[in-house]
Amino acid sequence: MNWNKKNVLITGGAGFIGSNLAKYLLQNKANVTIFDNFSRNNVEKNLPWLESFGGGLQVIRGDVRDELSVTKAVQGKDFVFHEAAQVAVTDSVVNPIEDFEINARGTLNVLDAMRQHSPDAVFVFASTNKVYGGLEEFNVEEKNGRYAFSDDALLEGVSEDVNLDFHSPYGCSKGSADQYVRDFSRIYGLKTLVFRQSCIYGQRQWGTEDQGWVFHFLRTAYQKETIKIFGDGKRVRDLLYIDDLLRAYDMAIDNLETTSGKIYNVGGGLVNSVSLIEALDVIESILQSKVKTEFFPWRPGDQKVFISNNNKALNDFGWAPQTSVHEGIGKLYNWVQELSKA
C-alpha cells in the first residue's frame, strides 16, 4: 500500500498496537493523527518515541465517548484505524457500563461520524477472539500437557464461520461493535475491515496480567518476580507478533476490492500456538533461568483453547504470519532490556 501523504486517524494511537501502527505509517510518509485519552498506564511514554520519527504526526487528546471530538477528528481522513478500547476482561466484569460506553458506544460514535462526514474513508476495526466466547460447544481434551480441540472442524483453528457467543461484558461490548462495523458496511456502504485479533504481542505493549500477558510474563520473569497463572497453565493461545498484524492490515487494505466489508480472524495460527506453561519454557530458554509462578482460579470467559484459522486471510489477500514465537519473544526481550536501562 502506498501511504505517501495519506491522511490517517488512529484512535487509541498512543497504545500498543496504535503506536506501532503510527510508527509504520510515519515511516511510509503518511500524515498521521493519533486520538487518545492517554488513560492507560505508561502510554505517555510512547509519545516521545513516535515524535522521533519526524513530521506528519498530530496528537489529539480526546475520548471516543465524546461525539463532538470524534466528529472533528474523522473529517478529512482517508483511513481510520479504530484501536481505542477498554481491553481487560476483568475490568469489564467490575465495570460493565464503562466497558460498554467505551467499546460499543465509542465505536458507534466513530462509525456514525464517518458516515456523516467521511463516507469515502476506509475504516479498520480491531476486534477480538473473545467474540467467540468460551467455545463450550466444542470438545476440548488435554493432550501432551496442553488443551486441544478434539473436533475435526477445528483442527486448523477457529474460523469466521464459528458462531459468536459473547461471554463476559468485554465480549459483549466488542462483539456489539464488531457487528455494528459489519452493518455500517452493508447498510451505509462504508468501506470497512474487521480483524478478530488473537493474542498480539510486541514492543511498546506495557502489558499487565489482565491484558498483554506475554510482555507481562517476560518482564516479571526478567525482574525475578512471581508470575500469576490463572487456571492450570495448560490454556492455549496462538501468538501473533505485532509486525505480522501490521502487515495484515496493509495487505488487506491493498486488496479492498476483495476484502471490503469482510471480517478476518488473524492470529499466530497452529504453528505459533503455545500453552501458558510452554510460553514460560520459551521465556526460560531466553533468560536462561527458571521463573517463579503462583496459580489462581480461572477467570470468566477464559477459553481453554483459542487458535485462529487464518485461511480466509491467506486466500483473500495472501497473508500468513512470519514471526515464530521464539523469534518474537526474543525481539520483545530486547525491548525489555532497553527498558531496564532507561
* Whether the Cβ atoms of residue 124 and residue 246 lie closer than 8 Å to each other: no
∠ CA 102-104-107, rounded to 5°: 80
pLDDT along the chain (342 residues), means of 10: 96 96 96 95 90 88 98 98 91 94 98 98 96 89 92 92 90 96 98 97 84 91 94 95 98 98 98 97 96 89 88 98 98 93 73
Q: What's the pLDDT score for residue 207? A: 75
Residue 265 lies in a domain: yes
Q: Which of 307, 248, 4, 305 is nearest to 126 (CA)?
A: 248
What is the per-residue pLDDT for 33?
97
Listing DSSP states for 171-182 in one string gives HHHHHHHHHHHH
| pLDDT of 12 | 97
Tell me what pLDDT residue 168 has. Answer: 85
Q: Is 151 a member of any domain?
A: yes
**What integer pLDDT is reported at residue 242 of this predicted model?**
98
**Strand 226-230 and strand 292-296: pairing?**
parallel
User: How many helices and strands (H and E) does the chain possess?
Assistant: 13, 16
Judge whether 161 lies within some domain: yes
Q: Is 201 a catalytic residue?
A: no
Structurally, the chain folds into a number of domains equal to 1
d(CA 92, CA 81): 23
Instruction: Look at residue 76 and tell me if it is in a domain.
Output: yes
User: DSSP string of 15-42?
Assistant: SHHHHHHHHHHHHTT-EEEEEE---STT
Q: 38 with 15: CB under 8 angstroms?
A: no
Q: At what angle do helices 242-253 and 16-27 cross, to 10 degrees?
A: 60
Per-residue pLDDT at 135: 87
Residue 2 lies in a domain: no
- Structural domain including 288 reads 7-341
Q: What is the pLDDT of residue 137?
A: 87
Query: Which of 147, 170, 180, 241 is an active site residue?
Result: 170
Question: Cα angle vertex 282, ends 277, 287, to 5°?
Answer: 120
Does 229 reside within a domain?
A: yes
CATH of the domain at 298: 3.40.50.720
pLDDT at 300: 67
Tell me if 60 is assigned to some domain.
yes
- For residues 16 and 27, what is the distance between their CA atoms, to the nearest angstrom? 17
pLDDT at residue 53, as a whole number: 87
pTM listed for this prediction: 0.95
- Residue 22 and residue 13 in contact, taking contact as beta carbons nearer than 8 Å: yes
Q: Tell me if 196 is assigned to some domain.
A: yes
Cell output for 323: 514471526
